[in-house]
Structure 1
Amino acid sequence: MHSIHSLLDSHDGYGLAELVRKGEVRPGELLEAVIERIEQVEPQLNAVCEKLYDKARLDAQSASASQGTFAGVPTLIKDLFSPLRGALMTNGSLACGEVRADFEAEVVTRLRQAGCVFAGSSTAPEFGTSYTTESTRFGATRNPWNTEHSAGGSSGGAAALVAARVVPFAHGNDGGGSLRVPASCCGVFGFKPSRGLMPSGPLVGEGWAGMGTPHAITLSVRDSAALLDVTAGMDLGAPYAAPLHSTSYLAAAQGPARPLRIALVEHLDPWPSSAESLAAVRHAARLCESLGHSVEVTRLPVELPVFLDRVFDIIGASTRGYIDMLGQMRGQPVALEELEPRTRIILRERGDIGGARYAAAVDWIHALGRAFAAFLQDFDLILTPTLTREPPRIGELDAFDERLSLAEVMEQFHSYSPFTALFNATGQPAMSVPLYWTAAGLPIGAHFAGRFGDEATLLALAAQLEQAQPWASRVPPVNARQGGAVN
């Protein structure tokens, strides 16, 4: 008889749920093992916002083997605009106080209905506007490959916990790379669905003019696809919806990958990719070619500084709207002193733009989506580095100096991640695949983007890459494994 820990070591979430359905494992056993694993690595990683063990134990007791695709599988919900009933709703900020949600996000409800048990919430930076998970409220979330380095952001807590083998998958969301950046930093799989594929309700119709979307960080491609099957699709009152796959995303991931035409983009002016980043993306390109795909070096039809200027018009206005709403909800305006310097810089320079300027920014990113759709008439996918360099050290990336200009903050973040936000703006699905580790032992992901609504092609390729170069056997120094091999 295998121990519970060896099963967690050797199975993804889909596989664990199969054991629950067969009666070989009880949800409560899985939960207690995950709690042990959280306690084992949390002192080194600082990836958990709030532990919800007592409520999770009650949920595990009532979980049934027939409950759903992920019956009895423990996971965590990211503490960022994803309310979980009864849990703290801090959004990484001191300004949110100790408020607890009395409702939950639709994506959380769908995960619950699929059988997931929520052991806690995972960390995020204030309001998700950073590519590293460091905040005044919670401190720094650390990378399990080297705790002196960042786990990425803004779903850094989720990525660190999955990489450290605490849970097989964890919920996150992505408005400019917030699933894919931490997946790259932590050597796991991060997938961003198309605009409108995932539910954003019930609180809002869309985040950041449609650039934001929930999904998950996973160890296996299979879990990512199966999670899409149980969460994708418009929710009540959604303003629009992307098309669902004709069969299932899991079937797409398990089917054969057809030969693809892949556009390789190695850098994006004005910021170069490092030698390690180029080595990572060229390694991915060679692997794709060895699997029968064609790869052509090309350039993207975008001027990055102009793009970022429009994006921060949207982020600035949206942040102001949220801060105003927060003040109304708590009955007292939010003082600037309650916010981190990065947020104050964004508000200072873009928080008070007019409606016409905001509308022009939205029109501009929609036009960019049209341009990228035309570009992909000649290619099936776009391949870029996920990041221009390896994960930075803690404290290196995030700006805690209000004297900086927004242009300096943009350069600090987007010289590190110039590619990911493009595909939030265009609405295209995109993923970071863990295929390369630097000489220092830090991961750098390969980033692929597909046509709008074509998650299936990306998932089929990801599964093919996973089979050709399995990454689950690569385990970071900080980990919760108790022995066994991932199958």
Structure 2
Amino acid sequence: MDLHEYAALDAVGLRELIVSRQVSAAEVEDVARRALGRADEELNALTMPPFETALDHDPDGPLGGVPFLIKDSGPFARGVPFTFGSRGVLGAVAAEDHDLMRRFRAAGLAGLGQTTAPELGLNFTTESVRYGPTRNPWALGRSPGGSSGGSAALVAAGAVPIAHGNDGGGSIRIPASCCGLVGLKPSRGRTPSGPFAGEVGFGQTVEFALTRTVRDAAHLLDAVSATPIGDKSVAPRPLRPYVRELTAGPERLRVAVTTASWSGTSVDPQVAEVTADAGRVLEWMGHTVTEAAPPFDPGDLVEGLVLGAYAAGAAFLLLPFPIATERWEAVSRSVFAESAAATLLDVARALDAQNRVTRTAAAFLTAHDLLLTPTIGHLPAPLGSFAYDSPSTIRDWLRRLFDYGPFTAPFNISGHPAISLPLGQSREGLPIGVQLVAAHGREDLLLRTAAHLEQAVPWSGRGPSVLTDRPGSRSSDRRPGVSPRDAG
């Protein structure tokens, strides 16, 4: 197996080759290591060289032998050092596995390395002072998004088919949009938070992964989404395995679509057009599509994000490892200071805002089956656009992020599942993602609809040229919108 063949396969495809003995797991790992080395030279997406040996895993698991990466902000793997992208975390090594890491191992994923993340994870780019900027494989001068930017960059480049990500305000979906990937944020309580926490960020942060195909997302969710023991929030069990949604027949859905941002900022016309085109494809499929949006209060959305920032600051202050706060970046120092100074009344106000956002989203998703929006309001940002090392208050910083990515955070606050799909490209050849949101616990609906869209508007032929060297991989000769393959 050469690099080109390897990079063209998703996780399910690789596993099928291993099971049929067309290739061994050892051969796949060898190619993956070469791919990681080559890709990281361009992208700066690993925090350290690949692990000398793959992390322990079950070779007979449903994804046994599939190369995998973990993000430098969890899920913690026993014996692996972590830094949260910071110069101020000193000598932190996980003493035991996160519950999700145990499930990754049981699924058979072969952890080969750790990916970059911005400090504290509170950024929509991945450019920590500790590790330097991580670059987007589609355009090296642009960001791969954040905070799961290192994972997204290496999956998009073809170095691995799946990499861990977590999402507290868009940190899976925004990198997915920037890098042309599938990014599923599960419902609150769908994947585990233990044993270190009952919930993370007042339930706003959810763990999962970035993939190149919908079927990989479905197979992985089946493998890791068993009911968490002891977690504060638990999502309802699906009626059937998620992989069965991939071939389920369509049903007529009520789809709301909006391209108006809740922050009040303008949306790039190319992004808006891709979203509108996606709505037309859904209508062509037989769904009822109307223009509508949840009436969120922008102030409540910012306060809901502040709640997550308070939780992040408090979590780091409680870490049982040495912390050199003077070595944190400027925004992190603000988060620490404001979190430490926050009163019970401050937290209660933010919880009230979270409650209002949650109820608004839930009511809307009772009247509609799905909501379609852009994933972010803009094209992938040039590197250096979000200077985290410049002084800023929590609210000022979050408003900056909210202006750039106003569509993802509301559903972290509310806990609803959402998925970003790579349905378009800009005139410059940059990926553009669209977001689908469903009612709490309805990942089945998201994955079923996503699979139908993947079939109607296939994206498997698009990819950056880091490993493939395909002429036109980064080309600008594709129209920015999307259209059904067989619409005639």
Regarding TM over 0.5, the answer is yes
Q: Which residue of 2 aligns with 1:451?
A: 439
Distance 2:293 2:221 in 1: 31
The one-letter code sitting in structure 1 at the alignment partner of 2:331 is: R
C-alpha deviation, 1:6, in angstroms: 4.7
The one-letter code sitting in structure 2 at the alignment partner of 1:93 is: S
Q: Which of 7, 12, 15 in structure 2 is aligned with 1:14? A: 12
Superposition pairs for residues 134-213 of structure 1, below 5 Å? 134-213=127-206
Q: Which residue of 2 aligns with 1:466?
A: 454
Distance 1:438 1:35 in 2: 32
Q: Which of 236, 242, 246 in structure 2 is aligned with 1:253? A: 246
Q: Contact between 2:56 and 2:105, CA under 8 Å: does it hold in 1?
A: no
C-alpha deviation, 1:82, in angstroms: 1.5
1:298-338: CA deviation from partner (whole Å, max 9, x where unpaired): 232211133212321x1332133223212xx23x5x44322
Superposition pairs for residues 238-387 of structure 1, below 5 Å? 238-268=231-261, 269-312=263-306, 314-326=307-319, 329-330=320-321, 334-387=323-376
Q: Contact between 1:40 and 1:480, CA under 8 Å: does it hold in 2?
A: no
Greater Cα shift, 388-397 or 342-351: 342-351
1:186-240: CA deviation from partner (whole Å, max 9, x where unpaired): 0110000000010111111111000111111000100000000000023332223
Distance 1:408 1:169 in 2: 34
Q: Contact between 1:155 and 1:182, CA under 8 Å: does it hold in 2?
A: yes
Rate the CA distance shift 1:113–1:481 in 2: closer, same or farther, 3 A. farther
C-alpha deviation, 1:469, in angstroms: 1.2
Q: Which residue of 2 aligns with 1:48?
A: 46
SS of alignment partner, residue 48 of structure 2 = strand
Q: Which residue of 2 aligns with 1:29?
A: 27
Distance 1:480 1:214 in 2: 30
Q: Which residue of 2 aligns with 1:132?
A: 125
Q: Contact between 2:169 and 2:412, CA under 8 Å: does it hold in 1?
A: yes
Q: Which residue of 2 aligns with 1:395?
A: 384
Distance 1:230 1:335 in 2: 38
Given the two structures, how large is their TM-score scaled by the length of structure 2?
0.92
Greater Cα shift, 146-155 or 14-23: 14-23
Distance 2:49 2:442 in 1: 36
Distance 2:288 2:108 in 1: 40
Q: Contact between 1:257 and 1:457, CA under 8 Å: does it hold in 2?
A: no
Greater Cα shift, 393-402 or 192-201: 393-402
SS of alignment partner, residue 216 of structure 1 = strand
Distance 1:276 1:79 in 2: 33
C-alpha deviation, 1:399, in angstroms: 3.3
Rate the CA distance shift 1:36–1:480 in 2: closer, same or farther, 3 A. farther
SS of alignment partner, residue 96 of structure 2 = coil
CA RMSD of aligned residues (A): 1.9
SS of alignment partner, residue 69 of structure 2 = strand
Distance 2:470 2:376 in 1: 32
The one-letter code sitting in structure 2 at the alignment partner of 1:195 is: R
The one-letter code sitting in structure 1 at the alignment partner of 2:26 is: G
SS of alignment partner, residue 147 of structure 1 = coil
Distance 1:140 1:48 in 2: 11
Distance 1:283 1:170 in 2: 29
Distance 1:68 1:369 in 2: 36
Q: Contact between 2:375 and 2:407, CA under 8 Å: does it hold in 1?
A: yes
Unaligned 5+ residue runs, structure 1? none
The count of aligned residue pairs is 471
C-alpha deviation, 1:286, in angstroms: 1.6
Given the two structures, how large is their TM-score scaled by the length of structure 1?
0.92
Distance 1:291 1:105 in 2: 41
Q: Which of 391, 405, 416 in structure 2 is aligned with 1:428? A: 416
The one-letter code sitting in structure 2 at the alignment partner of 1:187 is: G
Q: Is it true that 1:437 corresponds to 2:425 in the alignment? A: yes
Q: Which residue of 2 aligns with 1:412?
A: 400
The one-letter code sitting in structure 1 at the alignment partner of 2:394 is: L
Distance 1:386 1:315 in 2: 20
Q: Contact between 1:155 and 1:179, CA under 8 Å: does it hold in 2?
A: yes
Distance 1:431 1:110 in 2: 21
SS of alignment partner, residue 214 of structure 1 = strand
Q: Contact between 1:317 and 1:352, CA under 8 Å: does it hold in 2?
A: no
SS of alignment partner, residue 217 of structure 2 = helix
